[in-house]
A and B are shown apart, each in its own frame.
Chain A
């Protein structure tokens, strides 16, 4: 008996393996010369002119929208101060949160917050809080899409997984980040980090944008100019999303993202990088579907990915602050990015394991029953409303 065991154990190669076996398909073994050589496409044939044009148009519309919002922001002042009575950081947080729900996007709201600051309607802290609120509201979109799938009869847990996790991670990093940011802004130690290169960027567009923006501002009332700016900036983001390469393959070469479990810092960097290019967390998350095997992603990988995405999603807001040529607005966005980075890295380095457990337990609780889901949805609808009204 011992001898047979020894023989078996010493066999290092399995008889059946996951490795694909080398199979020679005889029917394909035809002399290659029988076929004309397939021409390899040149690099410039891969260039999509339509996408480049679309990118140029989206950038133009983005700058146009910021200009219009800047020109019309004063028209919104009565709405903020008299109707909603936005006078504190909490009010601004709630306002930004609800505004993002309303237009189903965070970036236009963050840009709007900067134009309000530029027009003197909001102070530093309130602007910072409104930008934070915009991100909380933006993460609701994925939940809403998941909820629609549930209504259409899909499983609760699978439909809501990404949305709930995105919201939970965003809330748990942005809310501590809010307090850290208020401290940084009040202490003013980042005031020296100001960039004035927006002048160069705006001067390029001045000739193409100013005449049209002046014309619109001269004809329409300021509040309508501001709203048209919001509509245009939302459209420009939508157009920009279409510029991104479409992942149509069922399983792309990047399917490894879902098969292996990566160190949290690696997924954090990947999430930050993908969002730096796509500029939107929801786009960055939706890219995971075609990029991953069967549309699945490992629980271990997803949380740091969202954390990374939550930082670089501010790139467009940073650009907006440069276009406004307002150095303090630039500092506010920089503080936002820095605070979220600090909070995320503290979590990743010091207590990621516990954080992940708590986050996933919360997700399990939300998806455990319809009652819990309803409680969760009502809570995230009521909280911003309460913040706005306090």
Chain B
């Protein structure tokens, strides 16, 4: 796995490097470390040098190629990710002003939309990845999501618990509609071969690998709220979601849940394109 670690702000550097270290241990060598700064000032350069030194100390057994770029953060990261044909991009959260968030969406989401490889946004509280919340809507290439998550889990030491969450936000469109599936438990949905049960069954098959303990879960409510609530209550170490798939004019019709989760999540988020 060819890994790029992008550090958009020097203040987050240590957190990003320590988080990335657990994945970097099994990644293809060398590890690429990208530091982006918007200003070429001497004190920043010396800070960057300290970050590079810290990275070498933390990832002591890794061969690291470091690059320092001066320019617009998201542009530089997108360009580096595209040029290097990486398999995974780990980056910190790009600071965004509140109004800019409303108008343009988070800058990190811009990167997520532009790059073609999976990426992990390191934010909030970080620690060893042991519990992963895999959110599967069943839309698009749902199986790809579980495949990537399984591969990520393989790169980590020890056993990981992967909770596969499907949020049923549907309600009956009118009185008298058959409601068996809406009232069913996870096991019943799988037993009934309901569409939600089929999604979860497929994910379970992909994740049934040594070192991974997959658990299916269904919650009822608003998609974003339920995911964030489960992430908090379940004390997960990583949230995995699919990238917003809408293209062209569909973008104007569909809600971008990836963006919303990225904004509101208080822990690392992995986005799979």
Chain A residues engaging chain B, CB cutoff 8 angstroms: 1-2, 5-6, 8-12, 14-18, 142, 145-146, 148-149, 154-155, 157-163, 165, 258-263, 266, 285-286, 288-289, 291-292, 294-300, 302, 356-357, 360
A297 closest partner in B (C-beta): B173
Do A161 and B28 touch across chains, with their CB atoms under 8 A apart? Answer: no
Partner pick for B143 among A1, A15, A162, A360, CB 8 A cutoff: A15
Do A149 and B253 touch across chains, with their CB atoms under 8 A apart? Answer: no
Question: CA of A148 to CA of B255 in the docked complex: distance in angstroms?
Answer: 35
Given contacts A14-B143, A299-B222, contact A262 B173 (CB under 8 A): no
Q: Which residues of B contact A146 (CB under 8 A)?
A: 175
Partner pick for A162 among B148, B175, B205, CB 8 A cutoff: B175
Q: Which residues of A contact B26 (CB under 8 A)?
A: 1-2, 5
Do A298 and B169 touch across chains, with their CB atoms under 8 A apart? Answer: yes
Taken residue by residue from 159 to 182, chain B's Cβ proximity to chain A (1 for < 8 Å, 0 otherwise) reads as 000000000011111111111011
Question: CA of A163 to CA of B142 in the docked complex: distance in angstroms?
Answer: 34
**Top 8 A-B pairs, shortest CB-CB distance:** A295-B177, A296-B170, A158-B179, A288-B173, A14-B143, A146-B175, A161-B171, A297-B173
B221 closest partner in A (C-beta): A299
Is B154 interfacial (CB-CB < 8 Å)?
yes
Question: CA of A333 to CA of B140 in the docked complex: distance in angstroms?
Answer: 45
Do B255 and A262 touch across chains, with their CB atoms under 8 A apart? Answer: yes
Report the minimum CB–CB distance from A35 to chain B (whole Å). Answer: 35
Partner pick for B173 among A17, A266, A292, CB 8 A cutoff: A292
Report the minimum CB–CB distance from A255 to chain B (whole Å). Answer: 11
Report the minimum CB–CB distance from B259 to chain A (whole Å). Answer: 12
Q: Which residues of A contact B155 (CB under 8 A)?
A: 5
Partner pick for B175 among A9, A11, A18, A145, CB 8 A cutoff: A145
Taken residue by residue from 6 to 27, chain B's Cβ proximity to chain A (1 for < 8 Å, 0 otherwise) reads as 0000000000000000000011
Do A296 and B151 touch across chains, with their CB atoms under 8 A apart? Answer: no
Do A158 and B177 touch across chains, with their CB atoms under 8 A apart? Answer: yes
Report the minimum CB–CB distance from A71 to chain B (whole Å). Answer: 38
Question: CA of A266 to CA of B252 in the docked complex: distance in angstroms?
Answer: 9
Question: CA of A294 to CA of B170 in the docked complex: distance in angstroms?
Answer: 10
Partner pick for A18 among B1, B142, B252, CB 8 A cutoff: B142
Taken residue by residue from 120 to 163, chain B's Cβ proximity to chain A (1 for < 8 Å, 0 otherwise) reads as 00000000000000000011111110011001001100000000
Q: Which residues of B contact A14 (CB under 8 A)?
A: 141, 143-144, 147
Partner pick for A159 among B175, B181, B223, CB 8 A cutoff: B175
Q: Which residues of B contact A259 (CB under 8 A)?
A: 139
Partner pick for B177 among A11, A142, A291, A296, CB 8 A cutoff: A296
Report the minimum CB–CB distance from B173 to chain A (whole Å). Answer: 4
Q: Which residues of B contact A11 (CB under 8 A)?
A: 147
Do A17 and B171 touch across chains, with their CB atoms under 8 A apart? Answer: no
Q: Which residues of A contact B253 (CB under 8 A)?
A: 260, 262-263, 266
Do B143 and A17 touch across chains, with their CB atoms under 8 A apart? Answer: yes
B251 closest partner in A (C-beta): A263
Is B110 interfacial (CB-CB < 8 Å)?
no
Do A5 and B1 touch across chains, with their CB atoms under 8 A apart? Answer: yes
Q: Which residues of A contact B2 (CB under 8 A)?
A: 6
Do B182 and A158 touch across chains, with their CB atoms under 8 A apart? Answer: yes
Question: CA of A356 to CA of B223 in the docked complex: distance in angstroms?
Answer: 12
Is B96 interfacial (CB-CB < 8 Å)?
no
Given contacts A158-B182, A295-B172, A297-B170, contact A18 B254 (CB under 8 A): no
A288 closest partner in B (C-beta): B173
B154 closest partner in A (C-beta): A5
Do B175 and A149 touch across chains, with their CB atoms under 8 A apart? Answer: yes
Report the minimum CB–CB distance from A358 to chain B (whole Å). Answer: 12
Report the minimum CB–CB distance from B185 to chain A (whole Å). Answer: 14
B26 closest partner in A (C-beta): A2
Given contacts A2-B28, A260-B254, A356-B222, contact A285 B143 (CB under 8 A): no
Do B221 and A9 touch across chains, with their CB atoms under 8 A apart? Answer: no
Do B173 and A158 touch across chains, with their CB atoms under 8 A apart? Answer: no
Report the minimum CB–CB distance from B252 to chain A (whole Å). Answer: 7
Given contacts A9-B1, A16-B202, A263-B254, contact A289 B143 (CB under 8 A): no
